[in-house]
Amino acid sequence: MDFTLGIEEEYMVIDPETRELVSHEQKIVEAAHRHMEDQVKAEMHQAVVEVGTNICTDIQDAREQVTYLRKTMCEIAKDLGFRIGAAGTHPFSEWKKQLITPNPRYHAIINELQDTARSNLIFGLHVHVGIEDKSMALHIVNQIRYFLPHIYALSTNSPFWEGRNTGFKSFRSKIFDKFPRTGIPPLFESISEYENYVNLLIKTRCIDNAKKIWWDIRVHPFFPTLEVRICDIPLTIDETITIAALIQALSYKLFKLRTQNLNFATYKRDLVNENKWRASRYGLDGKLIDFGKESEINTRILIHELLDFIEDVVDELGSRKEVERTYEILEKGTGADRQLKVYEDTQDFNEVVDYIIKETMFGTE
């Protein structure tokens, strides 16, 4: 069935004494493989571990799987003397001190991208929505781009970088922007136009496969999915599931419009990037541009409008409860807002790390 879900989360591995990022020497991955086989894998930096659900039939299945993955990873890490944290950046650890995972693929990326890759010490959330028809998936990707900054604003969870308050609610994207082939994708009129683009990059040795196109949303090169990659990893399971439910509902809404010969307006990448920058800088506390009205609108108001837009599909998907948790994020603030509050109250980055660890485990007991 189309509109299934797959969720990938990238976690920090933390030393509970120093609160620094630390290499787990693949011990967590090796132990986790006994519980979840290929659902956990190492990443380029040894202080990062990634988990991924199996195909989720609906949002309730997604919640069960994400909860199991977080719970298991937290328990394994603790047994090995580590802790797991879910935030887009670590508040104070320095990338220069982090070890790279021995792997030919990672070494090839380091060789090509140099400090751009070495400094890419960031943690994201990737949400896959199952769509078998690649042409339909591309159509939805084109349309959903406008809404990406709205969803991104809800996920912002990386205000600190190497011991500094960056002034951004999500500094993670500023780090990743140094990579090639990132950000909001361009419009493609057809799947053949997109495939010609990919083939040209391969032919000219810019990439060896389409996985090295790291856009904020893409038609996945190997799976029958579209993949939304713009979000910081949220602090809590609830926030991850809410964002996944929003992405699924938006995809389904745009699909239904298409089947009724209706389309949402599409906008140039440069315009959508203006909103992405605002979401990165201000999170929920700024204004985004409503390009139809050609005016600035409070971000929270636009998110309410987004919820109204998908109102007619959430019951069909069985995700009303999960989608309506968006209101809690609007009220309590994002992970970035809550991290900043802890630091404002304590002036102690160790307290911020402890808070991240606690929130990461919330709901796993």
Residue 112, token pair as written in the block: 């090509």
CA dihedral of 15, 19, 23, 25, whole degrees rounded to 10: 10
From CA 110, how far away is CA 176, in angstroms rounded? 14
Residue with tokens 């571990």: 49
348 contacts 13 by C-beta, under 8 angstroms:
no
| Six-digit token string for 267 | 């906008």
pLDDT at 11: 97
User: Is the pTM of the predicted complex or chain greater than 0.75?
Assistant: yes
- Return the pLDDT at 2: 84
How far is 155 from 216, CA to CA, in rounded Å?
Answer: 13
Beta strands in the chain (DSSP E): 5-14, 40-42, 48-52, 83-85, 124-130, 160-161, 164-165, 182-183, 214-215, 217-219, 225-232, 287-290, 295-298
- Cβ atoms of 70 and 360 within 8 Å: the answer is yes
Residue 1: per-residue pLDDT: 55
How far apart are alpha carbons 244 and 239 in whole angstroms?
Answer: 9
Q: In DSSP terms, which residues pair with 45 in a beta bridge?
A: 100
What pLDDT is stored for residue 174 in this prediction?
96
Residue whose C-alpha is closest to residue 152's, from 230, 48, 238? 230
| Pairing between β-strand 217-219 and β-strand 214-215 as defined by DSSP bridges | unpaired
- Asked if 249 contacts 317 with a C-beta cutoff of 8 angstroms, the reply is yes
From 2, 10, 5, select the one nearest 232 (Cα to Cα): 10
Write down all domains in the chain, each with its CATH number in brackets.
Answer: 5-361 (3.30.590.20)
Q: How far is CA 244 from CA 65, 190, 312, 316, 345, in A?
A: 13, 26, 17, 16, 31
Amino acid present at 325 = R
Half-sphere exposure of 51 (CA within 13 A, CB side): 27
pLDDT tens for the chain, residues 1 to 365: 589 999 999 999 999 999 999 998 889 999 998 888 789 988 888 899 999 999 999 999 999 999 999 999 999 999 999 999 999 999 999 999 988 888 888 888 898 889 988 898 999 999 999 999 999 999 999 999 999 999 999 999 999 999 999 999 999 999 999 999 999 999 999 999 999 999 999 999 999 989 899 999 999 989 999 999 999 999 999 999 999 999 999 999 999 999 999 889 899 999 999 999 999 999 999 999 999 999 999 999 999 999 999 999 999 999 999 999 999 999 999 999 999 999 999 999 999 999 999 999 998 87
pLDDT, position 248: 98
Contacts of 269 (CB under 8 A, 6+ apart): 145, 183, 184, 185, 186, 187
Non-local CB neighbours of 355 within 8 Å, separated by 6+ positions: 338, 339, 342
CB–CB of 202/28 below 8 Å?
Answer: no
Residue 209: how many other CB atoms lie within 10 Å = 11
- 79 burial type by CB count under 10 A (0-12 exposed, 13-18 middle, 19+ buried): exposed
